[in-house]
A and B are shown apart, each in its own frame.
Chain A
Amino acid sequence: MLKCSYDALNGIFAKIAENAKLYLPADKDGKTDYTKWAEGVEWSNALNTARSPKDFFFPQVEDLMKFKVEGKSIAIDDIREESEDFVVFGVRACDVRSFDILDRVFLIEPYDSYYASRREHGVIISCACTRPTETCFCKTFGIDCTNPGGDITVWRCEDALYWQANTEKGEKLLGTLGLESADESAVNAQKEQTARIMEKLPLAKLTTEGFGGGKTMELFNKPEWKSLSEACLGCGTCTFVCPTCQCYDVKDFNTGNEIIRYRCWDSCMYSDFTKMAHGNNRLSQVERFRQRFMHKLVYYPENNEGIFGCVGCGRCLAKCPISMNIVKVMKTIGGSAE
């Protein structure tokens, strides 16, 4: 374990930024979001960012290729940007888990080379939580917010910032930073303190009981879906703030001179989601609403060794215009009501 003083932090950021783009949470206008580090950008104390860091690997809009059509010939232009190395600093445990969930989608056949390339070039420096909030429920999914993982983990202790590499990539980067070594006592103390707070969280007792692979038939036809989805506006807020939602649409944009094929996030909450020639797959908002939660809580774990598609970051709890969310769904549909 290594450590650095908070005074030295700016210098360390500068060192990281020498070889890679560095992004970290910073406050602006009362909101926190990942910001490209430059001299003067302060690392935010906030628990988490409004937008999740999935953008770094799976941006909302990503150009895939360009092509020109002339007569019967099509000229394709591979416009893939040679991904630059980048470092995302200060990622919370929940969001770190989200990369694992996305990997299981994008890095299996058919292999998503766009995503893979960004994953390869990115280093994730996670940050352990110390002040979880009432909307946090990462523990429900077995995430330890005091041990967030990623390539490197930092602990924000009172006296210093503690660093530990978790992967080869992490070791390599950490080795270049010239930090002093440290014992783990401060970190351990902090872990214990955070664990005690975790017990007090209002959602501490939320469990995944009743969910998981194999529960499809049991849950699919529950009548409660109707009342849960009754007020759903069908907007895409939950999906777009979610760190694990990975659906996208591939579209063409005709600039007049050429066609840009790009992909952008899509939402299963939209009525025209995966609309095909025969029409829509899911015709009513109940079906669409159910799909999103069944996917996170049943279908995904069924295909991924029991790993749930939700990380308990709480963004959807804070952002849904009508305050409907996965916690309310789990408590109503599943067996985890208090």
Chain B
Amino acid sequence: MQKITRDILVEKAVSLLENGTVCCVLGWKKGEFDYDVTPALFESKEEIEKDFVYDDFCGANFSKYLVKKTIKAEGKILVFLKPCDTYSFNQLLTEHRFDREKVYAIGIPCEGMADINKIRAIAGDGISEIKCGEKIVVDTIYGDKHEIDAKDVLLERCINCKSKKHVNYDELLGDEGEVIESNRFDEVARLEAMTPDERFAFWQNELSRCIRCNACRDVCPACTCEKCVFDNPKSGVENKAPANEFEEKMFHIIRAFHVAGRCTDCGECSRVCPQHIPLHLLNRKFIKDIDSFYGEYQAGAEVGSRAPLVNYTTNDLEPSEVFEGRGE
């Protein structure tokens, strides 16, 4: 359950909208069911009061929307940012992707978001109602009722939450949290410890499911290119479908490389992948390597910080030393 209620956010949004501080509000909109929340741009008090939600299904990170929405907006946009969203927000500012002056950012606390796939695995088909309270209570049309501990159905990124701290905001609602010592690299380490054949099989299996729908890229706050290399016939890597294993790998290697040092590990790619490919394990591999090769670096922690791939020291690790002490 989220500590901050929908009503507080609605009240805030309405007052800022009515006093003219902002011209519109980026928020989560009620869906058809209790879990299919959609990001939406609210422009009136009525819309907000009717459809605004904030519950355990508000995973969407709004930072990226600011790139396009701030250009069009007449005034400031109110955006609600969970702690992890603020890192993406900062990274986009570092890259000059939107005008900070056109945003009114409210930091809101987050207790972790629920993964509907995990709920479905427990509750089965025909979910008719989900109540997010102390427990997540799920009813189905088949008459089943499940009381689920929210901790058991968290999104992967929330299980490994790296920070409850907001690194950028104009106003903070609720209490400020701390940066957390997470175990987010454990899974990467587990893969690293596999034999090459096991690991090869693992990735082969995962990446073979890719349908190149580009959801990972299109949701990624680090992927804001005007023209993506994968859409550009002149880039040499453009393709609309993964024709074979090579193209599956290439897409994900290049994508991870392009966001390396800029990826804040917000986890949106894995959250939206329709094929449930653990894409965060590619991004985290780069983050883990960067931390161990060049010192810890959290993209988005500070506006204007120099990303590791546009930086160097004269005594950096040599590529030949990457595998030293990492036996086969």
Contact between A231 and B65 (Cβ–Cβ < 8 Å)?
yes
Contact between A265 and B127 (Cβ–Cβ < 8 Å)?
no
* Alpha-carbon separation in the docked complex, A50 to B213 (Å): 13
Q: Residue among B39, B126, B240 with the most chain A CB within 10 A? A: B240
Contact between B215 and A237 (Cβ–Cβ < 8 Å)?
yes
A32-65 with Cβ < 8 A to chain B? 33, 47, 50-51, 60-61
* Alpha-carbon separation in the docked complex, A237 to B276 (Å): 12
Contact between A231 and B142 (Cβ–Cβ < 8 Å)?
no
One of A108-116, A146-154, A291-299, A318-326 at the interface: A318-326
Contact between B218 and A321 (Cβ–Cβ < 8 Å)?
yes
One of B28-36, B147-155, B187-195, B307-315 at the interface: B28-36
- Say whether A95 faces chain B, with CB atoms less than 8 Å apart: no
Contact between A265 and B125 (Cβ–Cβ < 8 Å)?
no
Contact between A321 and B126 (Cβ–Cβ < 8 Å)?
no
* B190 shortest CB reach to chain A, Å: 16
Contact between A230 and B241 (Cβ–Cβ < 8 Å)?
no
- Number of B residues near A (Cβ < 8 Å) is 39
- Knowing A31-B276, A134-B33, A235-B213, the reply to whether A47 touches B41 (Cβ < 8 A) is no
Mark interface residues in B41-69 (1 if CB within 8 Å of A CB, else 0): 10000000000000000001000010000
Residue of A61, A253, A264, A321 near B272 (CB, 8 A) is A321
Residues of A with C-beta under 8 A to B212: 236, 240
Contact between A50 and B274 (Cβ–Cβ < 8 Å)?
yes
- Knowing A134-B127, A319-B274, the reply to whether A60 touches B215 (Cβ < 8 A) is no
* Alpha-carbon separation in the docked complex, A266 to B197 (Å): 34
Contact between A321 and B128 (Cβ–Cβ < 8 Å)?
no
Residue of B32, B38, B217 near A322 (CB, 8 A) is B38
One of A85-93, A194-202, A211-219 at the interface: A194-202
Residues of B with C-beta under 8 A to A323: 31, 36-38
- Say whether B141 faces chain A, with CB atoms less than 8 Å apart: yes
Residue of B33, B141, B241 near A60 (CB, 8 A) is B241
* A42 shortest CB reach to chain B, Å: 18
Residue of B41, B205, B214 near A236 (CB, 8 A) is B214
Contact between B141 and A230 (Cβ–Cβ < 8 Å)?
no
Nearest B residue to A60 via CB reads B241
- Say whether A30 faces chain B, with CB atoms less than 8 Å apart: yes
- Say whether A272 faces chain B, with CB atoms less than 8 Å apart: yes
- Say whether B103 faces chain A, with CB atoms less than 8 Å apart: no
Residues of A with C-beta under 8 A to B32: 202-203, 317, 325, 327-328, 331
- Say whether A180 faces chain B, with CB atoms less than 8 Å apart: no
Residues of B with C-beta under 8 A to A331: 32
Size category, A interface: 35 or more
Residues of A with C-beta under 8 A to B205: 29
Q: Residue among B37, B209, B218 with the most chain A CB within 10 A? A: B218
Residues of A with C-beta under 8 A to B114: none
- Say whether B211 faces chain A, with CB atoms less than 8 Å apart: yes
Residues of A with C-beta under 8 A to B305: none
Nearest A residue to B37 via CB reads A323
Residues of B with C-beta under 8 A to A33: 209
Mark interface residues in A87-110 (1 if CB within 8 Å of B CB, else 0): 000000000000000000000000
Nearest A residue to B125 via CB reads A133
- Say whether B182 faces chain A, with CB atoms less than 8 Å apart: no
Mark interface residues in B200-216 (1 if CB within 8 Å of A CB, else 0): 00000100010111110
Residues of B with C-beta under 8 A to A327: 32
Residues of A with C-beta under 8 A to B40: 227, 230-231
Mark interface residues in B10-31 (1 if CB within 8 Å of A CB, else 0): 0000000000000000000001
* B51 shortest CB reach to chain A, Å: 10
Contact between B31 and A133 (Cβ–Cβ < 8 Å)?
no
* Alpha-carbon separation in the docked complex, A253 to B243 (Å): 10
Nearest A residue to B211 via CB reads A240
- Say whether A251 faces chain B, with CB atoms less than 8 Å apart: yes
* Alpha-carbon separation in the docked complex, A55 to B199 (Å): 28
Residues of B with C-beta under 8 A to A135: 33
Residues of A with C-beta under 8 A to B275: 31, 50
* A201 shortest CB reach to chain B, Å: 7
Residues of B with C-beta under 8 A to A324: 38
- Say whether A9 faces chain B, with CB atoms less than 8 Å apart: no
- Say whether B231 faces chain A, with CB atoms less than 8 Å apart: yes
* Alpha-carbon separation in the docked complex, A261 to B37 (Å): 41
Nearest B residue to A198 via CB reads B141
- Say whether A249 faces chain B, with CB atoms less than 8 Å apart: yes
For the complex of A and B, the 3 pairs showing the least CB-CB separation, nearest first, are A321-B272, A264-B241, A323-B36
Excluding A31-B275, A134-B126, 10 further A-B contacts by CB distance (< 8 Å) are A134-B33, A134-B125, A235-B213, A236-B212, A237-B272, A264-B239, A265-B240, A324-B38, A325-B36, A327-B32
A-B contact pairs, 27 of them (CB 8 A): A29-B205, A30-B121, A31-B209, A33-B209, A47-B125, A50-B274, A60-B211, A131-B126, A132-B126, A134-B141, A197-B126, A202-B32, A231-B41, A236-B212, A236-B215, A237-B213, A237-B272, A241-B211, A241-B274, A251-B240, A317-B36, A321-B219, A322-B38, A322-B60, A322-B219, A323-B37, A325-B36
